[in-house]
Structure 1
Amino acid sequence: MSSDTSDTGNARPGGRTARNTTAVLQATLDHLGEHGYQRISVDLIAAHSGVHKATIYRRWGGVDGLLTHALEWSASLPWEPARTGALHSDLVALNTEVAEGFTVAPERRVSYAAIAAAFESEAAAAALRTFMADRHRRSAVLVSEAVARGEAPEGTDAEEVVRAAVAPIYHRLLVCREPVEAAHVRRAARIAADAAAAGAFLAED
C-alpha cells in the first residue's frame, strides 16, 4: 500500500514534495530501528530529514502518523518472493528471507522495532497488520503457482499456507528468542508444503 502524503494532489513525481516525503519516511524507519518507538520524536525526524517540523506535523500529525505512513510506504516498495519451481523449495526460500530479515539484513533492527512499536501504539499495530497482510498476499502467489502445477488441490487457501510456513520462524525469533537454523527453515517449509498437498488448507464448509 502506498500513501498519498503530498500537500496537494498535483505534486510532481520526483519533485521536492516527493523527495521530502522519502526523506521523512526513511528517517522515521531509520530512527525506529536505532532508538525504538519510545524515543522517536518529530524534532529528531526533522533534524535527520531536513524537513521542517511544522511541515511534518501538518502532513503526518506526529509520531504515530509518521510510523503509519512509513510502514505503508515500506510495503509499497517493490518486492516479490523468489521462485524455485517447487512449493517446498519456494517456502524454504521465503522462510530463509524472513529469518535473514531479523538476523543479518541491514534493516533487521527496524524489523524488531516495528513489532515492538505495535505493542505500544494501536496506530503502529494497524500499520504493521497492513504491511504483513500485503506480504502474505504477495507471497501467496507461490502457492497459487503450486496449485497450477498440481502440487496442491484447487481451493487451497494460499495465504494460510504462507502463514503456516513462516509461523514457526517467527515463533523462534520473536517468542522464544532462539536462533533459526537451516534445518528449522526446511522443516517448517516441508510441513506446510506436505499439509497443502494433503488438502489441509482447503476451505471448510
Structure 2
Amino acid sequence: MASEGTAGAEGVGVEGVEPGTVRPGGRTARVREAVLRAAGDALVEHGFDGLDLADVARRAEVGKTTVYRRWSAPAGLVADLLTDMAEQSLPRADTGSLAEDLRANARLVVRTLTDPRQGALFVAVIAAAACDPRTAEALHRFYAVRIGEWSGSVEAAVERGELPAGTDPGEVIAAVSAPLYYRLLASGAPLDQEVADRAAAAAVAAARAGVFVR
C-alpha cells in the first residue's frame, strides 16, 4: 500500500505517511529516524542485496556500533523500516460513502507507487521479501496494519446497508490495491488516477454483488 516520515519525499504517503514527521523521544528517536531514512535511501539506490549497515551508519552520521548493536543485520533494519512506515501511516478516509473511501485508498496507493522514491522503495522491499523470510514477515505485518486500518470503511458500509452482511473487509481492501501492484510489478502498464478510480469501482461493484461475503 501506502508517506513520508522516515522513508518519504514530496508529500506522498507510504500509503499515507506525512512528510517530515518527527516523533518525540529524544536522541534515541532521532537516531532511529536518521538510520531508517538512510536505510530507505540505500534501498532505493542499491536494493536489498546492496544494503550495508556500515554504509547506512555513514549516511545517517551515527556510529557503526550503534547500528550493528540495534539492528544486527540488513533484514532487521528493513523490518524496522516497515514497522516505522506502518506506525506513521495516516488514518483511512471516512467520507460516509464506500465508493469515495475506496477511491481515496486507490488514489493514495497510486500516488505512493508512482513517487520516484517510494515506488522504488516498495519494489526493493518486495524483492527482498521474496528471498528473506524476516523481511517477508515484516512486509506481511505492514500490509496487515494498512488493510486493518482501511477495513473500517468496509465495516461502516456494511452497517449502513451498502454491502451484504458477512462481507470480508480485508478482501475488499486487498481487491482495490491488487491490480495496482500488478501493474507496478508485473505488467508495467501505466498507473494513474483513472486506473486508481477503476480499481476502486471494480472492488465496490464486486463487494455489492456479494463476491466477498464469507
Q: TM-score, normalised by structure 1?
A: 0.86
2:47 to 36, 45, 59: 36
**CA deviation string 1:151-186 (max 9, x = no partner):** 112221101111112111111121111102433322
1:51-62 paired onto structure 2 within 5 Å? 51-62=62-73
Q: What is the CA deviation profile of residues 87-106 of structure 1, one whole-angstrom value per residue up to 9, with x for unaligned ones?
A: 12221221111111111365
Give the structure 1 partner of residue 178 of structure 2.
Answer: 167
Residue number in structure 1 paired with 2:80: 69
Alignment of 1:128-139 (within 5 A): 128-139=139-150
Q: Work out whether 1:179 is the aligned partner of 2:209.
A: no
Counterpart AA for 1:58 = R
Does structure 1 residue 25 correspond to structure 2 residue 36? yes
Gaps of 5+ in 2: 1-23
Distance apart, 1:77 and its partner CA: 1.0
User: Residue 44 of structure 2 contacts residue 117 of structure 2 at CA under 8 Å; is this kept in 1?
Assistant: no
- Return the index of the structure with the highest Cα Rg: 1
How many pairs were matched up?
191
Answer yes or no: is the 8 Å Cα contact 1:82–1:93 preserved in 2.
yes
1:92 aligns with 2:103: yes
User: Would you say the 8 A contact 2:98–2:153 is kept in 1?
Assistant: yes
1 CA distance for matches of 2:67 and 2:192? 42
Q: Distance in 1 between matches of 2:196 and 2:76?
A: 35
SS in structure 2 at match of 1:107: helix
CA distance in 2, matches of 1:39, 1:163: 31
Unpaired runs of at least 5, structure 1? 1-12
Aligned residue among 183, 193, 198 for 2:204: 193
Normalised to the residue count of structure 2, the TM-score between the two structures is 0.82
1:82-161 paired onto structure 2 within 5 Å: 82-104=93-115, 106-161=117-172
Percent identity over the alignment? 40
Task: Return the alpha-carbon distance in structure 2 between the equivalents of residues 55 and 181 of structure 1.
Answer: 41
| Structure 1 residue corresponding to 2:57, chosen from 41, 46, 59 | 46
Structure 2 counterpart SS, 1:164: helix
Q: Higher mean Cα deviation, 158-167 or 107-116? A: 107-116
Distance in 1 between residues matched to 2:46 and 2:129, nearest whole Å: 15
